């Protein structure tokens, strides 16, 4: 489970202190090894700063971005206090996505009562996944110490010098 924060602390504190504004506090991608394979990374938990004033449904969320997998849609929203659990239709790739809280599917503005800056958060579906990139722990080894060759400084013929070189 990886948490993605949406903004800096000053903006977050200002919205928390405001009487009516709300916004996204953070997002968690549900990817536990104990979950069934088909459910891993298909659920996003969005935690708001305050409980939502109105019910939000799948039309209020848009997922943008991606490289190999695009057009991810939210198919179900479950509300429990300040936490919204979003179920998506497909799992995304390793690239960065943006979850936006919108007033309706055709608008870019957030619903009434939501802060514009705190209505979007960037995330990735695959943060907990193993990757082939250079995330393995590097072992720094000291250089190998070679034994000094035994040199015969009195050897002056070709075969003796050749033997020392080999």
Chunked mean pLDDT (size 10), the chain, 166 residues = 58 84 88 80 88 87 88 90 90 87 88 88 75 58 75 76 76
- The token duo for 112 is 């009434």
* Cα→Cα distances 26→21, 52, 102, Å: 16, 14, 16
CA–CA separation, 51 and 83 (whole Å): 8
pTM: 0.68
Q: What is the pLDDT of residue 163?
A: 77
Residue 61's pLDDT is 92
Q: How far apart are CA 4 and CA 47, in angstroms?
A: 10
Nearest to 85 by CA among 93, 74, 94, 98: 74
Q: Name residue 74's beta-bridge partners.
A: 88
Structure tokens at 117: 């800056």
Check if the beta carbon of residue 26 is closer than 8 Å to that of residue 4.
yes
Would you state the pLDDT for residue 137? 62
Q: How high is the pLDDT of residue 62?
A: 92
Buried b (16+ CB within 10 A) or exposed e, 119-152: bbbebbbbeeeeeeeeeeeeeeeeeeeeeeeeee
pLDDT of residue 126: 74
CA distance 12 to 77: 24
């Amino acid at each position: 489970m990886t948490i993605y924060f949406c903004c800096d602390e000053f903006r977050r504190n200002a919205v928390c202190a405001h009487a009516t504004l709300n916004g996204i506090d953070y997002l968690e991608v549900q990817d536990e090894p104990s979950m069934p394979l088909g459910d891993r990374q298909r659920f996003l938990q969005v935690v708001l700063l305050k409980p939502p004033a109105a019910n939000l449904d799948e039309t209020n969320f848009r997922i943008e971005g991606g490289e190999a997998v695009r057009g991810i849609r939210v198919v179900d929203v479950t509300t429990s206090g300040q936490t919204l659990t979003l179920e998506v239709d497909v799992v995304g790739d390793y690239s960065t996505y943006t979850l936006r809280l919108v007033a309706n599917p055709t608008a870019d503005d957030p619903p009434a009562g939501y802060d514009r800056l705190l209505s979007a958060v960037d995330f990735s579906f695959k943060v907990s996944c193993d990757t082939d990139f250079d995330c393995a722990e590097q072992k720094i080894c000291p250089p190998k110490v070679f034994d000094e060759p035994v040199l015969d400084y009195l050897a002056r013929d070709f075969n003796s010098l050749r033997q020392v070189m080999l």
